[in-house]
Amino acid sequence: MKFGKLLTSAVLALGLAGGAAFAQDKTKVGFVYVGPVGDGGWTYEHDQGRKAVEEAFGDAVETVYVENVAEGPDSERVMTQMALDGADLIFTTSFGYMDPTINVAAKFPNVKFEHATGYKRADNVSTYSARFYEGRAVQGHIAGKMTKSNIVGYIASFPIPEVIRGINSAYLHASKVNPDVEFKIIWVYTWFDPAKEADAAKALIEQGADVVLQHTDSTAPQAAAAEAGGVVTFGQASDMAEYGPFPRVSSIIDNWAPYYVARTKAVMDGTWESVDTWDGIPTGMVEIGEITDAVPADVKEEALAMIEAMRTGAYHPFTGPINKQDGSAWLGEGETADDGTLAGMSFYIEGVDGEIPN
């Protein structure tokens, strides 16, 4: 790591030389985005978090961001550049930035890094992610209650643990309140392709689905449901309130703002430590968007009660007895899933039809 030393010593030298001139009183926070800030979904919500940091600390912070950064060497360069430019804290907001973040962090031991959705940490690298499956449990409950055809459509992106976890959580809670419910799952192999998402939603609706859940980021499925009429949807990643009160009856919102503000504060106070954060409803990282009046009052009440139980920690969405798809036991009576199994979940639970691709 000779080069790393060269870089850090250069930074230190600059810091010393320029200390007086630049007066390091501002905390500089960098954000690396995988999509454009105008995607209305994943990157948009991270950028809302960045704006919250600016709002919270005003002149005491300076935030910078680079959007549309390809995973791989480009992201490594952008992170290095931010560190060279004097960033104190850098948020890297895509799974594919994992190894580049670790590489760059090794070269800049004095800069703090925060990597979203990954599993590799270091002394100056924290990881953070949201328990979206808690929100899926609420959606599953509402879906199970509201479907008349007993067919729930699910637009899935890629067969990775995060998505599979969501399907399991939604199915579990839908089948709890409606044993006849059936999930139709379409894998679109993209996070964001409005036209394809619209087509998938239409295909599901034509096959009888009257509730459509999506694990992709565009509002195209909402529009398809609105056009078809009588189909329930949920906002994903951002609130998608423009499609409320119907078809969008609720949503899962990625609310990164509290975490970003807290971590920036920690850097300012000198209390920052490398941690692995997996937060959900209790801390507000996963927010449930307003449940509209299109949902029957009793269902809404049950949903709110479930949210409250998760907030206080009284209820875990994966509480046994739960069997795996092949019928083998996974969780015993009253047993809750451990984070390790959840993080790498690559199996369906009992009752879900079909196979996970690959």
Partner 1 sequence: MDLSAINPVLLIAAIISAATPVLLAAIGETVVEKSGVLNLGVEGMMIIGAVTGFIVAVNTGDPLIGFAMAAVGGAGLSLLFAFLTQVALANQVASGLALTLFGLGLSALMGQSYVGIKPPRMPDMPFGDLPNMPVIGPIVFGHDAIVYVGLLLVALTWAVLKFTRAGLILRAVGENHDAAHALGYKVKRIRTMAIMFGGACAGLGGAHISLIRVPQWTEGMTAGVGWIALALVVFASWKPWRVLLGAYLFGGISQLQLNLQGAGVAIPVEYLAMSPYIVTIVVLVILSADKSRAPASLGRTFHASG
Partner 2 sequence: MIRLEKRPQVSAFMSYATPVLAVLATFAAGGVLFYLLGKDPVQSIITIFYDPIFGEFSFYYRPQLLIKGAPLILIAIGLAMGFKAGIWNIGAEGQYIVGAICGAAAGLAFYPMEAVWIFPLMIAAGAFGGWLWAMIPAFLKVRFGTNEILVSLMLVYVAEQLLASMSLGLLKNPEGFGFPGSRNLQQYASAHNAEIVAGTGMHWGVVAALIAVIFAYVLLTRHRLGFAIRVTGEAPRAAHFAGVNAARLTFFCLGMSGLLAGLAGMFEVSGPAGQISIDFNVGYGFTAIIVAFLGRLHPIGIVLAGLLMALTYIGGDIAQSQLQLPAAAIQVFQGMLLFFLLAFDFFTNYRFRFGFRRAV
Binding site for partner 1 (CB under 8 A): 35-36, 38-40, 44, 153, 184-190, 192-196, 198-200, 202-204, 206-209, 218-220, 223, 238, 242-243, 353-355, 357
Specify whether the CB–CB gap between 162 and 221 falls below 8 A.
no
Which listed residue (56, 64, 226, 228) binds partner 2 by CB under 8 A?
A: 64
With CB cut-offs between 5 and 8 Å by kind, which of partner 2, partner 1, none does residue 157 bind?
none
Nearest distance in Å: CB 37, partner 2? 8
Closest CA to 132 of 168, 166, 172: 166
Across-strand partners of 115?
Answer: 92, 127
Nearer to partner 2, 87 or 220 (CB): 87
With CB cut-offs between 5 and 8 Å by kind, which of partner 1, partner 2, none does residue 64 bind?
partner 2
Nearest distance in Å: CB 121, partner 2? 13
Across-strand partners of 154?
Answer: 185, 213
Window 92 to 111, contacts with partner 2 (CB under 8 A): 95-96, 99, 103
Nearer to partner 2, 54 or 335 (CB): 54
Interface with partner 2 by CB under 8 A: which range of 79-87, 212-220, 239-247, 257-265? Answer: 79-87
Interface with partner 2 by CB under 8 A: which range of 155-163, 229-237, 281-289, 313-321? Answer: 155-163
Count of Cβ atoms closer than 10 Å to residue 162 Cβ: 18
Which listed residue (343, 353, 354, 355) binds partner 2 by CB under 8 A?
A: 343
Nearest distance in Å: CB 296, partner 1? 26
Residue 269 sits at φ, ψ, to 5 deg, of -80, -10
Nearest distance in Å: CB 82, partner 2? 6
Nearer to partner 2, 66 or 299 (CB): 66
- Helix or strand run (H / E) with residue 116: strand 112-116
Nearer to partner 1, 188 or 267 (CB): 188
Specify whether the CB–CB gap between 89 and 266 falls below 8 A.
no
Specify whether the CB–CB gap between 103 and 78 falls below 8 A.
no
199 touches partner 2 by CB under 8 A: no
User: How many residues bind partner 2, per CB under 8 A?
Assistant: 44
Give me the DSSP letters along 174-235. HHHH-TT-EEEEEE-S-S--HHHHHHHHHHHHHTT-SEEEE-SS-SHHHHHHHHH-S-EEEE
Nearest distance in Å: CB 107, partner 1? 32
CA atoms of 273 and 58, how far apart (whole Å): 23
With CB cut-offs between 5 and 8 Å by kind, which of partner 1, partner 2, none does residue 250 bind?
none
Nearest distance in Å: CB 263, partner 2? 19
Measure the N-to-C terminal CA separation of the chain; round to a whole number of Å: 38
Nearest distance in Å: CB 358, partner 2? 4
Nearest distance in Å: CB 226, partner 1? 9
With CB cut-offs between 5 and 8 Å by kind, which of partner 2, partner 1, none does residue 161 bind?
partner 2
The residue written with tokens 């703090």 in the block is 112
Determine whether 85 is exposed, middle or buried from the number of CB atoms within 10 Å of its CB (0-12, 13-18, 19+): exposed
DSSP state at residue 111: S
- 98-107 helix and 2-22 helix, angle to the nearest 10 degrees: 70
Describe the strand order of the beta sheet including 248-254 as a list of residue ranges: 182-187, 151-156, 211-214, 232-237, 248-254, 286-289
Nearest distance in Å: CB 241, partner 2? 25
Q: From the CA atom positions of the chain, what is the Rg in Å?
A: 22
Give the binding site for partner 2 (CB under 8 A): 2-3, 6-7, 10, 14, 30, 36-37, 64-74, 76-78, 80-82, 84-85, 95-96, 99, 103, 119, 158-161, 189, 343-346, 357-358
